[in-house]
Structure 1
Amino acid sequence: MNKNNMICDLETGVCGVGGEEEMELVDFNQLEKKITLYYVTDPICSHCWALEPVLKRFVEQYGHYFKFQTVMGGLLPSWNGFADKTNGIGGPSDVAGHWREVGVYARMPIDGNVWIQNPIQSSFPPSLVFKVIQQKDEQLADTYLRRAREAVFLFNQNIGDNQVLTNIVNAMNLDGASIVKEADLSSGRELLDEDFKLSRKLGVRGFPTIIMVNEENKGIKIVGARSIEEYVKGLQEVLSTSEEIKAQPPRPLKKILENESLLFSKEIEEMYGLEKHEVKEFIKKELPTEMYEINEILDELYIKTR
């Protein structure tokens, strides 16, 4: 990857019922996930944050077709030699305005002041912690990645700092100190290097990139933050079937919030096909009042568990 030609483009955007028959024929082949979906990303990738609403819905409604695997891509090894000439980024302070622009465009809030107040020097520390947690539990690792992004994009926490990372992991009821310590070992770097090797093998040059691969080792690569329709189309193609793939209905909002803890209006709109003005009423209808609190940040509504 040529660090001096990194590009982030807003336009392209470079997670027993009754009524059964007594006897029925069941095709158990449908239960086997024959597609692997690689989500190549980075904890400080702003367009990956912008993709969250669509990716969350795609996994929720079509995840029964594929095995989901998050791969770290290594966006910022250090500031030595790094530049994004297209967006006028040559140093940390240049990132703040670009991040805010992405946040407004995608309606996934980004403050950006971390780059002025306490700039991140590398995205490798949060990536290393991700890999250590992923070795123990893949779902917990994806939860950690979400929490780390909330910390940096919303609350201006420097997730390149070990104490910040320790606090994030502790809040998940894990041993933050031991996990961050393990991430600093050579074994942690070996895990991360395996992801970088896989990323290169998959031909990834920008983030987010989603690659879906079938049993015949043929696949579809989709670069940038795209619409749900494009991911569904890609999945249909890689399944190599004329039969139209079927979306599962999303779980109730209560169940999703229990897993996520914090959801933005844009995520709720995308998941349930709502307009922005319909979200507050939908929340009131779906959630018991004692379960959540509703707030705004950077002119965007969000809910979180109490």
Structure 2
Amino acid sequence: MSNNKNMMCDINTGICGETDGAGMEMMNFQRPQKKIDLYYVTDPICSHCWALEPVLRRFTEQYGDYFRFHTVIGGLLEKWHDGPIDPANGIYQPADVVKHWREVGEHYRMPIDGSLMKNDHVESSYPASRVFTIIQKHHGAEVASSFLRRAREALFIFNQNIGKDEVLIEIASKMDLDGKAMVDEANQTIGQTLLSENFDLTKQLGARGFPTIVMINEENQGIKLVGNRSLEDFVQALEKILANTELQASTLPSLESILKKEKMLFAREIEVLYDLHEDELASFIEKELDANAYKRNEVLGEVYLTYNY
């Protein structure tokens, strides 16, 4: 064998042989500078925000290097009153929410039970919102976002009333936080002060409904997207706010790493994240995950996975 040959083992074929090129090339590993502030205006009991989770996760995983992500709580429901709450969706009292939530869940395949609204309804979204701000204050944005996700799972899937302190304490405690301390502080003046700051920012951003995404560049120019939008919509908006920069999507993390982090993923979330058809899901999961690493569950006709370890 000649010593002048550049030899290698191909990562795809496993075959060892001579390289096609010179074996030396310049590469750029520099991540893009975060020049954009992205504000996600939401609320813990917003059904359309729950439905947006698959697309929003895919967008942040692949293009999060381009922006700083900020979650802003907008205040969907302070309390129920005698007048109409959402007449456009036929919501005048708590029990009316069930039909609307079910329709949203079925349409986007992010299931919502909602039956608690008939007999143990959430009186206000403010308690969970205040706890979010306190967790954000003490533990940072990422942990606060995880709390928001767990609160939505508790409400939409497991019919737990996230307007009650004991439920919020349990959710935070399962995240290895001091749940009682977080909720107690949220019930003090600081909790409402921090929430009011979120409401002020919501107004400044011009958000009048949830979900709303606002992207703002260094020149203080912005783009606002309202409602449940597609991945393509978000990518196009990011390209536009970056002066038509050609975006480079980051490599997606493995299903195992995502499930380990999130603890629970729905079929639709996995399909959107990895561009799968519904009939490809089972074989993909089997290929990507050890059989002992997860449990397959089902609710309202939709599959979801929970992490075992």
Same fold (TM over 0.5): yes
The alignment status of 1:298 with 2:300, answered yes or no, reads: yes
The alignment status of 1:240 with 2:243, answered yes or no, reads: yes
- Aligned counterpart, 1:253: 255
What are the residue-to-residue correspondences of 1:1-306 with 2, within 5 Å?
24=26, 30-80=31-81, 81=83, 83-136=85-138, 137-241=140-244, 243-306=245-308
Distance 1:295 1:78 in 2: 34
Task: Deviation per CA, 1:39-78: give whole Å up to 9, x if none.
Answer: 0000000000000000010000000100000000000011
Counterpart residue type for residue 56 of structure 1: R
- In the superposition, the TM-score normalised over structure 2's length comes to 0.89
Distance 1:36 1:115 in 2: 36
**3-state SS of the aligned residue for 1:221?**
strand
Distance 1:286 1:27, change over 3 A: closer
Task: Deviation per CA, 1:74-130: give whole Å up to 9, x if none.
Answer: 000111245111111111011011000000001000001010120011000000000
Offset at residue 244 of structure 1 (A):
1.6
Task: Deviation per CA, 1:240-282: give whole Å up to 9, x if none.
Answer: 13x4211112101011111100000000000000011111110
**3-state SS of the aligned residue for 1:56?**
helix
Distance 1:107 1:40 in 2: 22
Counterpart residue type for residue 209 of structure 1: T
Mark the runs of 5 or more structure 2 residues left unpaired by the alignment.
Answer: 1-22
Alpha carbon RMSD of aligned pairs, Å?
1.7
Counterpart residue type for residue 45 of structure 2: I
Counterpart residue type for residue 101 of structure 1: E
Distance 2:147 2:298 in 1: 23
The question of whether the paired residues in 2 share the 8 Å contact of 1:76 and 1:82 is answered with: no
Offset at residue 24 of structure 1 (A):
4.8
**Structure with the greater relative contact order (CA < 8 A, sep ≥ 6): 1 or 2?**
1
Distance 2:240 2:109 in 1: 30
Offset at residue 22 of structure 1 (A):
7.9
- Aligned counterpart, 1:16: none
**3-state SS of the aligned residue for 2:292?**
helix
Distance 1:22 1:68 in 2: 37
- In the superposition, the TM-score normalised over structure 1's length comes to 0.90
Counterpart residue type for residue 144 of structure 2: A
Percent of aligned positions with the same letter in both sequences?
51
Point out the structure with max Rg over C-alpha.
Answer: 2
Distance 1:287 1:77, change over 3 A: same
The question of whether the paired residues in 2 share the 8 Å contact of 1:76 and 1:124 is answered with: yes
Distance 1:271 1:190 in 2: 37
The question of whether the paired residues in 2 share the 8 Å contact of 1:54 and 1:270 is answered with: yes
Distance 1:283 1:23, change over 3 A: closer
Distance 2:285 2:185 in 1: 40
After superposing on structure 2, the runs of 4+ consecutive aligned residues of structure 1 that deviate more than 4 Å are: 21-28
Counterpart residue type for residue 186 of structure 1: T
Distance 1:244 1:23 in 2: 22
Task: Deviation per CA, 1:216-241: give whole Å up to 9, x if none.
Answer: 01011000011100000000010113
Matched residues, number: 286
